Amino acid sequence: MSENKSVINFTRGVPADESFPIKDMIEASQIALEKYGTTILQYGKSFGFLPLREWFAEQHGISVDNVLTANSTLQIIDFLCHQLLQPGDVAFTETPTYDRTITLLKRHKAEIVGIPLEADGPNMEALEQALIKQVPKFFYVIPDFQNPTGLTYSLEKRQKLVNLAEQYGFWLIEDAPYRPLRFRGKEQPSLFKLNPTRTLNLFSFAKVIGPGLRVSVLHGQAELLAKIAKFAEDTYICPAMFNMGAAYQFCVSDKLPGQIDKLKALYAPRLQACLDAITQLLPDVEMTRPQGGFFLSLTFPEGITTAAVLERAKTYNLNLAPGQAFFPNGGGERFLRLPYCAMPPEQIHEGISRLAAVVKEELGIRNL
Amino acid sequence: MSENKSVINFTRGVPADESFPIKDMIEASQIALEKYGTTILQYGKSFGFLPLREWFAEQHGISVDNVLTANSTLQIIDFLCHQLLQPGDVAFTETPTYDRTITLLKRHKAEIVGIPLEADGPNMEALEQALIKQVPKFFYVIPDFQNPTGLTYSLEKRQKLVNLAEQYGFWLIEDAPYRPLRFRGKEQPSLFKLNPTRTLNLFSFAKVIGPGLRVSVLHGQAELLAKIAKFAEDTYICPAMFNMGAAYQFCVSDKLPGQIDKLKALYAPRLQACLDAITQLLPDVEMTRPQGGFFLSLTFPEGITTAAVLERAKTYNLNLAPGQAFFPNGGGERFLRLPYCAMPPEQIHEGISRLAAVVKEELGIRNL
C-alpha cells in the first residue's frame, strides 16, 4: 500500500459534481425571476409553487390537488410520519432500506418491521406473514434502483404489493428519486400508477438536477395532502419558492429529458466499471446487478464483517460506509453499499482493487 | 358603501411586491452558479452554505460555529422547540406575540406564559413575578418592531432582560427580522450583543430580500447549534443551498445596504400614512407608534370587538385579521394588527377610512 494513494470514497450517494447543469440553471433562474419574480421571492402557499405543481399534474395526468412540493423528500417523509404515525405504531420498510428513513421512523417512535428484499422486490411470503401479525400504518418502499441495493421490483411484485395495500388497508410510500435513471432493461409502472389511492409517491430533483435545490414532490390523495400542507404551513409557512421557480423553468424549457440522457451517459459506464471490477476482482463476494440508479451492494462471505473491512480499508485510503445502518431490525454485518456515480470508471476500478486487496487480507486472517 | 370598491387587505405581514430586487437577484444567482455551482447544487452540511455563515460571522465578530442557516425562521423555532422543550415545559412569550410561534409552541405541548408587552418592552414586574413561579426553558421575544405591535424595547429593558436570563438560567430567543428596517429614532443593541451566551438570535432575509428564499440565520452557542444541526440533518439532510448561494452573492456584492435604504424609503411613508390616517379618523382608538418594521396595532374602545369590526369590514371590501390569535393566554378581543408595507399610502388612507366608518357604525350600535 502506498501512502501517496489518493482518497477514494464509497460512502454517500451523491451526484457527480460534473453532472450539474449549471449553464441551464443560470438561464432558468434568470427567466424564472423575470417572469415570476414577485411570486418566487414572496410568501407562497405551503403546497409550493403552483406552476410547478401544475406541470407535474399534467405530466402524470392527475389533479393539481394531488401534488404537493416541499424542501426535500426527507422532510416530506417527516411530515408523513407526523400525519400518519403515533408513537408505537408499526411501519414496514424493506430490509435493507434507506438509513435516513430508519432514523426518522425511530425519531417518531415507530415500531419498524423490515421485510427482506430479494432481487425482484420484497419477499412476499414474509410480507404476508407480517401483515397477518399486524397491519402497518405504511410500508416505505423504493421500488426502482433501491437505496442501498440498486434492486428493482418486478411487475408481478408491484401488482401484488398494491393489492395487499388495498386488501389490508395501509399506505405505500413509494420513494422514487432514481426512477428516471434507467440505463438498460424495461421500465415497470410505478406503484402510484397501479394504485394512486393507496400510494404516496415521492419524486425529487436531487438526482436529476441537483440536491442543493432541495425540491421534492409528493403525489397522493388530495385529502391527506391538504393535511400535510397545513402541517407544512405551521412548520415553515411555505417551502422555498425561489428554487422551485428555477426548477420549474428548467422543466418547461424542456431541459429535463436532455439532462437525464446526459446523466445516463455519464453514470452507465460507472455502473458497468463497478460490475466488471467486482466480477473480476471479488469473485467470492455476492453482488446485486442493478440496471440503473446510484448504488449496488455487496455481501461479504461468512466470517468477514463490513466493520473489519471498513477499518482495514482506511489504511488503503478507501472510505466505506457501515452496512448495519440500513437494517432496521439488526443484521447487515456483511453488507456493503457501493455508490458509484460520483467517480470516473478508472477511480471505481482502483477503488474496487483496493477493496479486493482488503478482502484478501481479511480472508487470509480468517484462514490462519 | 359602493359595491365597486376594490378589496383592501390588512391581513398578512408580507413585503410589497415592488420591493423585490429582481434584477440584482438575477445577477446574484448567475454569479453564485458560476462560482459555486458544484457546491450549491450539491448536498451540503446541515449548518448551511459555509460562505454565507462566514459572512455573517464576520459581520457580527463571532465564530462560524455560532452561525447556522436554515429554511426559514419558523423552521428554526421548530428545531429549537424539539431541542429545548419536553411536553409540559414552560415557555414565555410576549402578550401579544407572533401567532405562528404560538401555534408551534402548542404543537410541542408547551405551557405558554404570556408576559404583557408595554411601549418600551415587557412589563418587568409581571416578568419577575412569573419567574418566581416558574423558570421557562426560553422566553421568545421580538425586541425590534415587534410582530404584531410594532413596539421596540428600550435599552434599559434589554439590559434587565439579559440580566434576568443570566440570573434565572433561561434562553432568550430573539426573533429580529424587522431590525434593519428602522425609519427613525436610535437603534438599540440586540439582546445577542448584550449577552451572546444566553441569546439565540434569529435573522431572516424574508423582509430585506424576499420571503420566497426561505433563508434564515440562527446565531447562538456553538454546542447548542451543533445539536440543532444534527436534528436538521435528520430532518432534511441540508437546507436549500441554491437559495443560500444567491443570498450570499447578493450580500458580498454589497447590495444589502442599498436594498435596505430602498425599503426604508418605500415603507416609511406607508407607516406615516397609517399613523396620520388613524390620528385623524380614529381618535378614540388606542394605537402603537412604531419607528420602523411592518406593523402597528390598535386597541378598540371598550364594547367594540375586533370580531364584530372584522365581520362588518367585509361589507366594505376591507379584510382584517382576528386579534385573539396573537394572545397565548386569551384576550385580544379588541386588538387589531395593521400591516402597512404592502400598500401605497393612498390605499392605506382609504383602508383606514373604511375602518373608521366601520368603527363609527359599531359605536352607533353600542350607543343605541
Mean pLDDT by 10 residues, chain B (368 residues): 76 96 98 98 98 98 98 98 98 98 98 98 98 98 98 98 98 98 98 98 98 98 98 98 98 98 98 98 96 98 95 97 97 97 97 97 80
Structural domain contains residue B33: yes
Closest by Cβ to B103, choosing from A100, A234, A239? A234
Structural domain contains residue A79: yes
Which CATH number belongs to the domain containing residue A236 in this structure? 3.40.640.10
Nearest to residue B19, comparing CAs of B342, B271, B295, B291?
Answer: B342
Q: Is A46 on the interface with B (CB under 8 A)?
A: no
Does one domain contain both A239 and A315? no
Does one domain contain both B103 and B230? yes
List the alpha helices (DSSP H) in chain B: 22-40, 50-60, 73-84, 99-107, 124-133, 155-168, 191-194, 222-236, 241-252, 256-281, 306-314, 345-366
A3 or B272: which leads in pLDDT: B272
Q: Is A48 on the interface with B (CB under 8 A)?
A: no
A368 — pLDDT class (breaks 50, 70, 90): low
Find where cell 414565555 sits. B92
Q: Is B351 on the interface with A (CB under 8 A)?
A: no
- What is the strand order of the sheet A295-299 is part of? A286-287, A295-299, A335-339
- Could you report the per-residue pLDDT of A116-127, keeping only the tens digit for each? 999 999 999 999
Which residues numbered 265-324 in A keep a CB inside 8 Å of some CB on B?
Answer: none
Of chain A, the percentage scoring pLDDT greater than 90 comes to: 96
- What is the strand order of the sheet B295-299 is part of? B286-287, B295-299, B335-339
Burial class (CB in 10 A: 0-12, 13-18, 19+), B132: exposed
Which residues numbered 191-210 in B keep a CB inside 8 Å of some CB on A?
Answer: 206, 209-210
Does one domain contain both A132 and A201? yes
Does one domain contain both A341 and A248? no
Does one domain contain both B39 and B125? yes
Q: Which domain-ending residue is among B198, B222, B252?
A: B252
User: Are A269 and A345 within 8 A, CB to CB?
Assistant: yes
**C-alpha span between A300 and A286 (Å, rounded):** 6
Q: Does B209 sit within 8 Å of A240, measured CB to CB?
A: no
Does one domain contain both B248 and B337? no
For B334: left if phi > 0, alpha if psi spans -120 to 50, otherwise beta; the answer is: alpha
Does one domain contain both B148 and B42? yes
Closest by Cβ to A212, choosing from B25, B34, B43? B43
Q: Is B247 on the interface with A (CB under 8 A)?
A: no
Does one domain contain both A131 and A271? no
Sort out which chain B residues have CB atoms less than 8 A from A33's CB and list them: 22, 25-26, 29
- Could you report the per-residue pLDDT of B282-332, keeping only the tens digit for each? 998 999 999 999 999 999 999 999 999 999 999 999 999 999 999 999 999
The domain in which residue A320 lies consists of 8-20+257-366
Which residues numbered 109-168 in A keep a CB inside 8 Å of some CB on B?
Answer: none
Does one domain contain both B15 and B96? no
User: Is the per-residue pLDDT at A61 higher than 50?
Assistant: yes
Structural domain contains residue A2: no
- Could you report the per-residue pLDDT of B25-40, keeping only the tens digit for each? 999 999 999 999 999 9
Number of domains in chain B: 2
The length of chain A in residues reads 368
Does one domain contain both B323 and B238? no
User: Are B228 and B218 within 8 A, CB to CB?
Assistant: yes
Q: Which domain-ending residue is among B252, B281, B298?
A: B252
Q: Which domain-ending residue is among A190, A223, A252?
A: A252
Looking at the complex, report in whole angstroms how far the Cα of residue A28 sits from the nearest Cα belonging to chain B: 10
The length of chain B in residues reads 368
Find where cell 465578530 sits. B61
Closest by Cβ to A242, choosing from B34, B37, B243? B243
Structural domain contains residue B353: yes
Q: Does B43 sit within 8 Å of A26, measured CB to CB?
A: no
Does one domain contain both B209 and B268? no
**C-alpha span between B276 and B338 (Å, rounded):** 14
Structural domain contains residue B344: yes
Which CATH number belongs to the domain containing residue A278 in this structure? 3.90.1150.10
Structural domain contains residue A120: yes
Write out A5-70 in H/E/C secondary structure. CCCEEECCCCCCHHHCCHHHHHHHHHHHHHHHHHHHCCCCCCCCCHHHHHHHHHHHCCCHHHEEEE
Find where cell 440500513 sits. A326
Q: Does A237 sit within 8 Å of B211, measured CB to CB?
A: yes
Half-sphere exposure of A156 (CA within 13 A, CB side): 4
**Interacting residues of B62 by C-beta distance below 8 A, sequence separation 6+:** B196, B219
Sort out which chain B residues have CB atoms less than 8 A from A234's CB and list them: 74, 100, 103-104, 107
Structural domain contains residue A84: yes
Nearest to residue A172, comparing CAs of A88, A94, A67?
Answer: A94
Structural domain contains residue B3: no
**Interacting residues of A171 by C-beta distance below 8 A, sequence separation 6+:** A84, A137, A138, A139, A165, A198, A199, A200
Does one domain contain both A245 and A268? no
Whole-number average pLDDT of chain A: 97
